[in-house]
Amino acid sequence: MRKSRLREVKQRKLREHFVAGTTARTAAKLSGANKTTAAYYCHRLRQLIYPAVAGTAPFAGEIEVDERFFGGRCKGKRGRGAAGKAPVFGLLNAVGRSMRW
């Protein structure tokens, strides 16, 4: 990032943690930067990345999302926490068709 008062070493560490998905507060502790500075730096990185990926979203408009849990019947606990159940998520782009509820 140009015109930053952070040293290059701290910038590099913050970028590494940003790519790794570390929170700004944890990245600040690990890189030695202030937590506010780290949060602002991550915010600026997101602002720089957004224009490059804005038109590449796989879904646009209305999206239907559904989740189900599949698996055999077991005695004991039912629903989400039951053993042997697998969560399955589904996404549907609803553009161009009428939605019925």
- pLDDT, one tens digit per residue, over 91-100 is 777 665 554 4
- Distance in angstroms (rounded) separating the CA atoms of residues 67 and 89: 4
Residue 75 has pLDDT above 70, yes or no: no
- pLDDT, one tens digit per residue, over 41-57 is 899 899 988 888 777 76
- Distance in angstroms (rounded) separating the CA atoms of residues 13 and 71: 44
Report pTM: 0.53
| Angstrom distances, CA of residue 31 to CA of 7, 37, 68 | 11, 11, 41
